[in-house]
Amino acid sequence: MNLAIVVSDFHKEITSEMLEAAKAEAEKNNLIVKEIVSVIGAFDIPLPLKRVLAKKEVDCAIVLGAVVQGETSHDEIVAYATAEKIQELSLLYNKPVGYGISGPRMTVAQAKKRAKEFAVRAIEAAVRSL
């Protein structure tokens, strides 16, 4: 099965660890990573996700990012809006999308601690939904 990964560069110290964990887990599950798309932030994931899901050679995808809490509720707006669009795209293309975006309401320390776990679970979700 062929996998696409869309990963946010925001909080790259976290998301780069997520990406490496996801690639390792994909290999364990006999998934071929056909494409990796980097975007600026989690909010920017839906459009490139739509593009990769439209490709016939892509069977499933995962999204990776870290949405951490700041001084306002901006993290909640980003996380909820992004999650809704990702789910809509999964249903539109009838392809599983493993959700590996941590947050909202997480500190940087919490997101770092859970980086690998979120990535592995995103792969597991995509595989189990195939």
Question: First vs last Cα of the chain: how many Å apart?
Answer: 9
State the average pLDDT for the chain: 97
User: Which DSSP helix (H) or strand (E) runs through 98?
Assistant: strand 97-106
Residues 83 and 99 sit within 8 Å (Cβ to Cβ):
yes
If one looks up domain 2-129 in CATH, what number appears?
A: 3.40.50.960
% of the chain exceeding 70 in pLDDT: 100
Q: What would the pLDDT profile of 55-89 be if each residue is shown by its tens digit?
A: 999 999 999 999 999 999 999 999 999 999 999 99
Q: How far apart are CA 117 and CA 120, in angstroms?
A: 5
> Residues with catalytic annotation?
74
Domain boundaries, the chain: 2-129
